[in-house]
Amino acid sequence: MLVLLFILFLYIRISFSLESLAVNQTIRDGQTLVSPNGTFELGFFNPPGNSRGRYLGMWYRNLLPLTVVWVANREKPVQNNSGILKLDENGVLVVLNGANGSVWSSNMSNKVVNNSITAQLLDTGNFVLRIGKDNVLWQSFDYPCDTLLPGMKLGWNLVTGLNRFVTSWKTADDPAMGEYSVKIDKRGFPQLVIRKGSVNKFRIGSWNGLGFTGYPIQQLKQKQRFKFVFNEKEIYHQYEGIDRSVVSFYLVTTSGNLQVLAWTSKESSRIAIYTGGEDSCDNYAMCGANSICNMDGNIPKCECLKGFVPKFPEQWNMSYWSSGCVQRFNSVCGDDNLGGFLAYKEMKLPDTSLSWYNKTMNLVECQKSCLKNCSCTAYSNLDIRNGGSGCVLWFGDLVDMRKFSQWGQEFYIRVPSSVLDEFEPAAVNGHQNKKKIGIIVGAISFGLVICVCLVILRKRVAARVYNIVPFQWQQEYFKVIKEDMDLPIVDLSIIVKATDNFSSGNKLGEGGFGPVYKGTLTDGKEVAIKRNSKMSDQGLDEFKNEVFMIAKLQHRNLVKLLGCCIEGEEKTLIYEYMPNRSLDYFIFDETRSKVLGWSQRSYIIAGIARGLLYLHHDSRLRIIHRDLKTSNILLDAHMNPKISDFGLARIFGVDQIEAKTKRMVGTYGYMPPEYAVHGHYSIKSDVFSFGVLVLEIISGKKNKGFSDPEHSLNLLGHAWRLWTENRPLELLDRHLLETCNSSEVFRCIHVGLLCVQQKPADRPDMSSVILMLNGEKLLPQPKMPGFYTGRGLPEAISSNQMSVTTFVAR
């Protein structure tokens, strides 16, 4: 019976399938195009878990699960089953919706249109428009989605300017263009990179004749044949399958990893046979400049190149490596001191975007060329086949290197003669005179440095005594921050131009720091600019603290700091722009709150939890935020939550449990009792604030200002009363009643109440919170929350305490 059903299924599919489309011919939803040998099929589909719309896509016809490799209308789905694919009278492929409107087209009007133009799906997976057999007018291979198929070119047509690159899906059920892309960077010597937006995430590296230097593929060579073309007309990578019993392709995932997926005749489902961009050393510039990343088991380790030392040793000792390394001794570049080279083997070559190359030089000529240029810092072969050929030179810092156990490449770094003597004793002869000259020069230089320091110190003391240039101190101070954080300091003129002189039309909002403006930089990039108000409670120390904190933190649920500006009395911070503003903009507004359904709210709760877990446990610095609230949760274009405003944050030591302050700062309604009353704070302080956030997100009500009309309870007390009366779901925002998952809501309320318990010891840490939210851990019964008895200040804070303690409400 099953065999008969399968045969019937195939018959139905075949009966609704076509081999090609002619001018003015269409296929409707339910019909498909099939490649000649039946490998690929093209038609309308729903992504798994997505019932919102239909997409025209291409998939492997006889593989399970459904494996879509190309999508036409990835940004504009067709509703219901009304989609139509048509080859129109202009020789253009169009996807039409139920209203006969175009949601996608091949966007190429052909000058000569005749009935010989056809659209056909080839056995390679290439969907083509052509006249005859060889005259291709348009092809899907020129417009990849998230999949690189055998025979597809990845790279540039330098004649037409066409750039073929692969982009991830937005989510697992949304084929719209995601954050990640795989591209060939044609600057310097071309290299393959994975980018998140415009920022490098993982550098696959340059081609050395056998493979990409950052993505060893030797284990794939029995199944695939690789090709890299680089000439005056084209730069592209391409591969072909060797073993016909294996179906394989490259996929860039929604998380930015590059996978090689494969089916074999023995496998009923696909398997990932290789994944790149997965370990920490794959992260671009993980160890900063002039440093090498090495995976020791599952733990990354960074080490400076020989002759280099950590730029900031204290950070290096805390395993914060991104500041990289600098030369231990300055290299005197001239005819009398050309330095020398040290060899490194089995390496991922440094970033080649600022390199120079020559395809005909040999390695000896390459070395001589590097020695003649004072800015040259390293060299290597361009092609390692047949003993090596070609030359690539690096200038300035060497970035994004790692050590492989095998299959890496050899390259040579330039070091001063003193370092060469240290690491190669046999090379000491011939360097003695140079060393003497170096000692004399070093002594003179040291004396000059001492004199300059004394002059600067004298000027600074005079300035402090006579109070002449107070803001010059800020500029000098933040010059140190710029060097320490490696953070761009932007001219005030650029900020003024970007915000149209801080016009009210560009103002996004205002906080304790001051107003926030939307700005557009000269390259078109939109940013958010926080301008310090002269009346702001946030002083120089808090401004410095925010710069120091967030410049060190990198996580998808933390807002990204792009730069800062310090000129005179102006102090501004430049952040990535969040088009959907902050969480409070939505959940506390009667109209906008309807936009956030339950699935979106639970997603936001989970994202905030992951961001806090990173701050408390996973970042190199253990951070207590101390001002977690809805207005400090920003939402990007995809409604991803990002924690912001680190002006009040503090660093904890690894073994530190809590700290105490006499100056309590933060926001009423989110402060835990132990902090508001006694000034004690810890990671459990943030957990309390997170619990308040959870209950506010669920209810759509503010803790501060909410009052239960019957019992004069704040939001925490109201939630607790509903819990004890076995009516917790009554806390839910009424807009969510019809769309929510009641068990998920119940669990989130339960977790929220656990987080706001009176005693810090009773509250879970964020790692337990995430397990609880995911249903992976049993939940204990919550105890009474803090501040549950009424509105306003906690009863435990007396007027005497208020008179001697400074509270900064933000």
Which of 465, 466, 463 is CA-nearest to residue 477? 463
From CA 461, how far away is CA 465, in angstroms rounded? 6
**For residue range 339-363, what is the model confidence (pLDDT) as tens digits?**
889 999 999 999 999 899 999 999 9
Domain chopping of the chain, boundaries:
1-143, 291-427, 488-576, 583-809
Q: Which residues are CB-neighbours of 29 under 8 A, at least 6 positions away?
A: 43, 44, 54, 78, 81, 82, 83, 84
Confidence of residue 757 (pLDDT cuts 50, 70, 90): very high
Residue 10 predicted with pLDDT over 60: no
CATH superfamily for 583-809 is Transferase(Phosphotransferase) domain 1 (1.10.510.10)
Segment holding 799, helix H or strand E? helix 799-804
**For residue range 157-191, what is the model confidence (pLDDT) as tens digits?**
999 999 999 999 999 889 999 999 999 999 999 99
pLDDT confidence of residue 425: 46
**What number is the average pLDDT over the span 236-244?**
87
Structure tokens given for 80: 């219901």
Chain Cα centroid distance, residue 413: 30
pTM of the model: 0.54
Which of 51, 61, 138 is CA-nearest to residue 94? 138
Strands 401-403 and 340-348, bridge-based pairing = antiparallel
Residue 194, burial from CB neighbour count under 10 angstroms (0-12, 13-18, 19+): buried
Confidence of residue 632 (pLDDT cuts 50, 70, 90): very high
Please tell me the CATH code under which domain 1-143 is placed: 2.90.10.10
Q: Which residues are CB-neighbours of 478 under 8 A, at least 6 positions away?
A: 489, 544, 547, 564, 566
Which of 89, 125, 86, 119 is CA-nearest to residue 103? 86
Residue 214 predicted with pLDDT over 70: yes
Residue 196 predicted with pLDDT over 70: yes
Which fold would CATH assign to domain 488-576? Answer: Phosphorylase Kinase; domain 1 (3.30.200)
User: Between 646 and 654, where is the model more confident?
Assistant: 646
Kindly name the residue from 174, 185, 400, 627 that is annotated as catalytic: 627
Inter-axis angle of helices 766-773 and 742-755, nearest 10: 170
Please provide the average confidence, as pLDDT, over all residues in the chain. Answer: 81
From CA 206, how far away is CA 359, in angstroms rounded? 14
Percentage of residues of the chain with pLDDT beyond 70:
77
pLDDT confidence of residue 115: 66
Sign of CA dihedral 489, 490, 492, 498: negative
pLDDT confidence of residue 322: 85
**Contact criterion met (CB below 8 Å) for 246 and 273:** no
**Contact criterion met (CB below 8 Å) for 181 and 166:** yes
Which of 486, 610, 464 is CA-nearest to residue 551? 486
**Contact criterion met (CB below 8 Å) for 369 and 355:** no
Structure tokens given for 142: 């020129």
User: Between 49 and 640, where is the model more confident?
Assistant: 640
**For residue range 495-546, what is the model confidence (pLDDT) as tens digits?**
999 998 889 888 888 766 678 999 998 778 899 998 876 544 455 666 766 7
In DSSP notation, 448-477 reads: HHHHHHHHHHHHHHHHHHHT--HHHHHHHH
pLDDT confidence of residue 259: 86
Confidence of residue 464 (pLDDT cuts 50, 70, 90): very low
Confidence of residue 48 (pLDDT cuts 50, 70, 90): confident
**What number is the average pLDDT over the span 751-762?**
94
pLDDT confidence of residue 372: 87
Structure tokens given for 159: 């004649």
The Cα-based distances of 707 to 295, 696, 711, 791 in angstroms read 55, 13, 8, 7
Identical fold for domains 488-576 and 583-809, yes or no, is: no
Structure tokens given for 331: 């290299």
pLDDT confidence of residue 763: 95
Residue 470 predicted with pLDDT over 60: no
Least confident among 33-47, 265-279, 401-415, 659-673 = 265-279
Structure tokens given for 298: 């599952």
HSE (side-chain half, CA atoms, 13 Å) at 425: 0
User: Between 566 and 278, where is the model more confident?
Assistant: 566
Q: Which residues are CB-neighbours of 462 under 8 A, at least 6 positions away?
A: 468
**For residue range 323-336, what is the model confidence (pLDDT) as tens digits?**
899 988 765 465 44
Report the b/e string of 744-772 with b at 16+ CB within 10 A: bbbbbbbbbbbbbbbebeebbebebbbeb
From CA 48, how far away is CA 538, in angstroms rounded? 49
Residue 305 has φ and ψ, to the nearest 5°, of: -60, 155
Taken as a whole, the chain contains a residue count of 810
Q: Catalytic site residue 618?
A: no
**What number is the average pLDDT over the span 387-409?**
91
pLDDT confidence of residue 423: 72
Confidence of residue 459 (pLDDT cuts 50, 70, 90): very low
pLDDT confidence of residue 645: 85
**For residue range 652-670, what is the model confidence (pLDDT) as tens digits?**
755 555 666 655 667 888 8
Confidence of residue 312 (pLDDT cuts 50, 70, 90): confident
Structure tokens given for 507: 């103002």
Report the b/e string of 365-403 with b at 16+ CB within 10 A: ebbebbbeeeebbbbbbbbbeeebbbbbbbbebbbbbbb
**For residue range 407-452, what is the model confidence (pLDDT) as tens digits?**
889 999 998 887 887 776 433 333 344 444 455 555 555 556 565 5
Strands 26-28 and 376-380, bridge-based pairing = unpaired
Residue 711 predicted with pLDDT over 50: yes
Residue 50: other Cβ atoms inside 10 A: 16
**What number is the average pLDDT over the span 275-292?**
84
**For residue range 216-229, what is the model confidence (pLDDT) as tens digits?**
665 566 678 889 99
Residue 281 has φ and ψ, to the nearest 5°, of: -70, -15
Residue 809 predicted with pLDDT over 80: no
Residue 462 predicted with pLDDT over 60: no
**For residue range 568-600, what is the model confidence (pLDDT) as tens digits?**
778 888 999 998 889 998 999 888 888 888 989
